């Protein structure tokens, strides 16, 4: 009864989370692109790995997010370290931001697996073009000084941990530890909130915690449930719950649910031992789903084998 009560409390908590606008990009294939959210993942595949991801969210909604991401990482075995880099470019309506990071990790044996601790630092380049905003009432137009039309660049720091074994992984990370300020100005003239209004935009701290487990059912079938919870400071968050199936070590198929939003359908194909192509289709429920329609995400991955990895865990796929 205690276990049932605890599980009931957990599910009530999870479903109470609201899917609110987050500053960080959203990825439905995060389990295959973990460097984008966790620097401790660098080097953990024992391969030189490169992943490109292209996401178009809410295709029927004007100004909806479009994200391009690229990650590259490799182990440094003699030093028990990993090194990598990840790049990101995203547009959301009048907002554009580009980021480039260097990722470093240090790993050591812990129990039946290995623990990796990671740190990344990079630069974020941001622009918000107020001239692209449309107002219901033309008299409410906000006229910002020309500073808003220029690029703003700031240092950004992230950290994380990653524990992995042959069939299990668990990770956690915190992004924007230094809460970089992308603009701060008092030189804004408005007709509806008064002159010299101060406008600020900082990147808030985001926290990710996730885990996955691979169950080898037969030589031709592996089942892998994965779970991720994510939240932004001040508190607002959501979660992803996925159930993925690997068939004949060639095909991944999966279904998932994103709290407060809707369903996720996933497919991935291993065209060769090194080259993989993945696709996800997201569709919201309720009013948001009807208004925004689907989201599409394409992933391309290539691994340069340093040695043969005989691992069930989906981190190697």
Q: How many CA atoms lie within 13 A of 128 on its CB side?
A: 14
Contacts of 59 by beta carbon, 8 Å cutoff, 6+ apart? 292, 293, 294, 295, 296
Contacts of 292 by beta carbon, 8 Å cutoff, 6+ apart? 57, 58, 59, 60, 61, 64, 284
Contacts of 46 by beta carbon, 8 Å cutoff, 6+ apart? 75, 306, 307, 309
Report d(CA 2, CA 9) in Å as an integer.
Answer: 11
Q: Percentages helix, strand, coil for the chain, rounded to the nearest 5? A: 15, 55, 30
Residue 67, pLDDT > 60, answer yes
**pLDDT at res. 137:** 57
Max mean pLDDT among 84-98, 125-139, 191-205 falls in 84-98
| Greater pLDDT, 81 or 62 | 81
Q: How many CA atoms lie within 13 A of 59 on its CB side?
A: 10
Statement: the pTM of the whole predicted model exceeds 0.85 = no
Per-residue pLDDT of 75-105, as tens digits, reads 998 889 999 999 999 988 778 889 999 999 9
**pLDDT at res. 290:** 66
| Greater pLDDT, 148 or 203 | 203
| Greater pLDDT, 115 or 292 | 115
- What is the residue extent of each domain of the chain? 2-248+304-316
Confidence of residue 155 (pLDDT cuts 50, 70, 90): very high
**pLDDT at res. 11:** 36
């Amino acid at each position: 009864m205690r276990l049932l009560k605890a599980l009931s409390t957990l599910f009530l908590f999870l479903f109470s989370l609201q899917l609110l606008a987050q500053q960080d990009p959203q990825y439905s294939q995060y389990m295959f692109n973990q460097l984008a959210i966790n620097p401790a993942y660098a080097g953990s595949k024992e391969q030189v790995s490169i992943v490109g991801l292209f996401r178009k969210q809410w295709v029927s909604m004007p100004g909806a997010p479009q994200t391009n991401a690229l990650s590259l990482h490799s182990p440094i075995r003699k030093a028990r370290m990993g090194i990598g880099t990840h790049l990101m470019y995203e547009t959301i309506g009048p907002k554009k931001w580009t980021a480039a990071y260097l990722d470093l990790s240090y790993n050591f044996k812990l129990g039946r697996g290995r623990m990796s601790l990671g740190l990344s630092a990079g630069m974020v380049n941001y622009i918000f073009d107020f001239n692209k905003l449309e107002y219901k009432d033309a008299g409410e137009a906000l006229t910002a000084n020309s500073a808003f039309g220029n690029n703003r660049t700031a240092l950004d720091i992230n950290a994380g941990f990653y524990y992995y074994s042959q069939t299990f992984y668990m990770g956690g990370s915190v992004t924007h530890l230094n809460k970089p300020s992308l603009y701060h100005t008092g030189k804004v003239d408005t007709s509806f909130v008064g002159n010299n209004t101060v406008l600020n935009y900082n990147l808030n701290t985001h926290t990710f915690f996730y885990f996955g487990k691979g169950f080898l059912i037969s030589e031709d079938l592996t089942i892998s449930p994965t779970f991720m919870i994510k939240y932004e400071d001040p508190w607002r968050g959501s979660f992803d719950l996925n159930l993925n199936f690997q068939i004949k070590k060639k095909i991944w198929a999966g279904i998932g649910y994103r709290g407060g939003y809707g369903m996720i359908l996933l497919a991935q194909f291993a065209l060769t031992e090194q080259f993989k192509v993945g696709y996800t289709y997201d569709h919201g429920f309720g009013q948001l789903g009807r208004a925004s329609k689907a989201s599409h995400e394409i992933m391309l991955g290539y691994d340069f084998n340093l040695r043969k990895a005989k691992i069930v865990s989906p981190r190697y796929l």
